[in-house]
Amino acid sequence: MKCDGQALPRSAMAVLLKPLLKPHPAPVEPSSYAAVFQSFTGKSLLRQGKQLHARLVLGGLSPAAFLAAKMVAMYGSSGDIDSAARIFNSAGTLTPLLFNSIIRAFTLYKYSEETLRIYSRMHSLNFRADYFTYPFVLKSMADLSFLSSGKSAHALSMKDGLNSDIYVGTSLIDMYVKCGELAEAHKVFDEMPLKDISSWNALISGNMRDGIVGVARKLFDEMPWRNIVSWTSMISGYTQNGFAGDALQIFDEMRKDGSEVKPNWVTITSILPACGQSAALDRGREIHCFAREKGFDSHPSVQTALVGMYAKCGSLPEARRCFDTLNPDAKNLVAWNTMIAAYASHGHGLDAATMFEEMIKAGIRPDGITFTALLSGCSHSGLVDIGLRYFDAMSSMYLIEKSPEHYACVVDLLGRAGRLSEAYELILRMPVLAGAGVWGSLLAASRSHRNLEISELAAKRLFDLEPGNSASYAVLSNMYAEAGMWDEVDKLRDRQKSQNVKKNPGCSWIELDGKVHFFLAGDASTDKINAFLEGLPEKMKASGYAPDVSCALHDVSEEEKERSLMSHSEKLAVAFGLINTAPGTALRVTKNIRICRDCHTAIKFISKAYDREIVVRDVNRFHFFKNGVCSCSDYW
């Protein structure tokens, strides 16, 4: 007999099968079959299991509950859930063991509803759930976010004293975490007399999920021992909550000599987005090398994550190189979307469109994310007609529902091209209510085309939609000031005060020698940076660059305006980079909000005057400054 997959030792199998495979079998005890089915379970021996099943049928034996349970387990573990269900349904007598077998099988296939249907049948027959029932039932409840079912399962398990069991307890924690009841999860955890790593891990990922990073860290530090899941949950949790620096630090600890657990491919897919987030290209490259050394780079998820990392770090050629060398099974929708978005955010709209056509040719069906990337690519490159055509095709050809995000892209597309009233009309025709994203696009566009009327319309909607956001107040206020409408400026300021609007502080960062340096707008910086920036306006003016004071507060003197502009975070980061690197080194700066017009002008000037390539990634896109011009052609 040839074995697929993980083989049972031949000798053991022979002993087990001997009495069953005689040409004229003497009547055999069904329990002999049970032992064989059990030995097949979990070992991918489906073919052998089926042969044995056939013999049983030929011998006229119909399995009793015990044997049926073993058969269900064998089929369930070997990928034949239909046969498992058939045996369960045709069993004459039902027992808790048989219920547990089928519940486990359905859970394995993530048939959560089916699992719970069977569980309630078990319940209605007055069978007690046990250690082997609850973990699977709770998992299904967690997957479906059935909190009230979860609570009653919790209560029942307590009645039988099972809630203190490690597996049941850990499943309860996981269920509460996934149903969003973190406090309950903590309670179960605290009440467990014995915990294992999974109990700690479940609670850590729950806290990370809810953004309670500090508690997650405390649990991690207090754990008596940790496994790869614990480490990797911390890394992905930090990354998802925007703490890229902490994620990288944990990753470094894992790689130290003598660390208890070493990174695996899952760790790599979790850490690469952290590099992307902080635009830490050098770290990303170094982690790529590490992955290659360890052979993790052949894993499809790692390959896709590499494409994303290079794209986010602003290295389009490396992103493309990784994309081109993807395994065929890694070239999935996610990978294509990542590459289309990469071209889009670098302002290569035509390349994004070409990529999209190639993807269609490769037989990959686009989704909503594809079109968001594609449309924003068209918008950033001024490809109005192409963009409108895709917007049309997405519902008529690809049957994808248009989301507010897609509308925001098209409003942006029309708005940038100065077609403001068309953009406004499109918003009015939207089948869904326009959100802040859509009105924000219109405001930005009407701001850059200095259309006060439409700016007012858009800003007023935004005041209602996002009462706490200072950005729309600032835009409208500056426009009023430019038009000399001081009464309106005052009214706006009063309104802003009464609404208690807070400013979103601008923050930029730059990576030097693997370390990320942060700068807040108005930060007290070093003398060297100050001296550099103070001399900048004069130098710029001498070369014909005028500071754009419309980006500063309007109610201060011109000189003060220039000074406040000089303390913008992106200028601080660029100056820091310039001072601390060798001539000719490219600088990469990331900013948490949109780059302002004045900084854009200043950095163009710096790129020429100091002969540096400077890449600024703002919240919308990449700007590549070189020799006095920017890749966005001042269109962003």
Closest distance of CB 615 from Zn ion, Å: 10
Distance CA 150, CA 282 (A): 46
d(CA 541, CA 543) in angstroms, rounded, equals 5
State in angstroms the smallest separation of the CB of 620 from Zn ion: 10
Least distance from C-beta 503 to Zn ion, angstroms?
14
Distance CA(495)–CA(499), nearest Å, equals 6
Identify the three-state secondary structure at position 207.
helix
Q: Give the C-alpha separation, 37 to 76, whole Å.
A: 12
617 scored as a contact of Zn ion (CB under 5 A): no
Smallest separation (angstroms) from Zn ion to the CB of 568: 3
For Zn ion, give the closer residue by CB, 297 or 562.
562
CB of 520 to Zn ion, least distance (A): 13
Q: Distance between CA 138 and CA 152 in Å, rounded?
A: 10
Maximum Cα–Cα distance across the chain: 106
Residue choice 373, 596, 606, 614 for contact with Zn ion (CB under 5 A): 596
Region of 30-38, 238-246, 348-356, 618-626 interacting with Zn ion (CB under 5 A): 618-626
- How is residue 466 written in tokens? 């996002």
Number of residues engaging Zn ion in binding (CB under 5 A): 6
Spell out the SS3 assignment of 536-604.
HHHHHHHCCCCCCHHHCCCCCCHHHHHHHHHCCHHHHHHHHHHHHCCCCCCEEEEECCCCCHHHHHHHH
Please state, as a whole number, how many other Cβ atoms lie within 10 Å of the Cβ of residue 631: 17
CB of residue 340 to Zn ion, shortest distance in Å: 20
Q: Is 632 in the site for Zn ion (CB under 5 A)?
A: yes
Determine the interface stretch with Zn ion among 192-200, 305-313, 398-406, 594-602 (rule: CB under 5 A): 594-602
Indicate the residue among 501 and 632 with the shorter CB distance to Zn ion. 632
- Please tell me whether residue 139 binds Zn ion under the rule CB under 5 A: no
Question: Nearest distance from residue 318's CB to Zn ion, in Å?
Answer: 21
- Write down the least CB distance from residue 635 to Zn ion, Å: 8
Residue span binding Zn ion (CB under 5 A) among the ranges 23-31, 194-202, 253-261, 595-603: 595-603
Q: Which of 16, 341, 599, 615 binds Zn ion (CB under 5 A)?
A: 599
Closest to Zn ion by CB, 347 or 415: 347
Assess contact for 167 and 132: CB atoms under 8 A: no
Shortest Å, Cβ 285 to Zn ion: 25
- Least gap, CB of 441 to Zn ion (angstroms): 18
Nearer to Zn ion, 352 or 630 (CB): 630
Select from 11-19, 241-249, 309-317, 589-597 the region that touches Zn ion (CB under 5 A). Answer: 589-597
Nearer to Zn ion, 263 or 347 (CB): 347
Range in contact with Zn ion (rule: CB under 5 A) among 136-144, 145-153, 274-282, 616-624: 616-624
Stretch that binds Zn ion, among 22-30, 75-83, 192-200, 591-599 (CB under 5 A): 591-599
φ/ψ of residue 179, rounded to 5? -90, 5
- Residue 248 or 599: the one with the smaller Cβ distance to Zn ion is 599
Q: Which stretch binds Zn ion (CB under 5 A): 132-140, 293-301, 411-419, 599-607?
A: 599-607
Residue with the two structure tokens 């064998």: 74
d(CA 52, CA 71): 10
Residue 520, strand partner residues: 507
Alpha-carbon distance 158 to 152, whole Å? 10
Give the neighbor-by-neighbor strand order of the sheet with 629-630.
Answer: 515-520, 507-512, 587-591, 614-617, 622-626, 629-630
Cα(109)–Cα(81) distance, rounded to whole angstroms? Answer: 8
Of the CA atoms within 13 Å of residue 387, those in its CB half-sphere come to 27
- Between 326 and 595, name the residue whose CB sits nearer to Zn ion: 595
Q: Which of residues 51-90 bind Zn ion (CB under 5 A)?
A: none
| Local structure of 384: helix, strand or coil | helix
Residue 45 tokens read as: 């021996």
Q: How far apart are CA 625 and CA 605, in angstroms?
A: 9
Kind of pairing between the strands at 614-617 and 622-626: antiparallel
Q: How far is the CB of 561 from Zn ion (least distance, A)?
A: 12
Give me the least distance between CB of 537 and Zn ion, in Å please: 13
Helical axes 404-416 vs 368-380, angle rounded to 10°: 10
Report the 10 Å Cβ neighbour count for 90. Answer: 10
Instruction: Say if CB 140 and CB 116 are below 8 A apart.
Output: yes
CB 525 within 8 A of CB 595: no
Q: Which is nearer to Zn ion, 4 or 634 (CB)?
A: 634
Our CB check for Zn ion shows the closer of 305 and 596 to be 596
548 three-class SS: coil
* Cβ atoms of 157 and 171 closer than 8 Å: no
Subset of residues 522 to 581 that bind Zn ion, contact rule: CB under 5 A: 568
The nearer residue to Zn ion, 421 or 633, going by C-beta atoms, is: 633
Q: Of the two residues 174 and 618, which places its CB atom closer to Zn ion in the complex?
A: 618
The two tokens of residue 269 are 């897919």
CB of 302 to Zn ion, least distance (A): 32
- Residues near Zn ion (CB under 5 A) are 568, 596, 599, 623, 630, 632
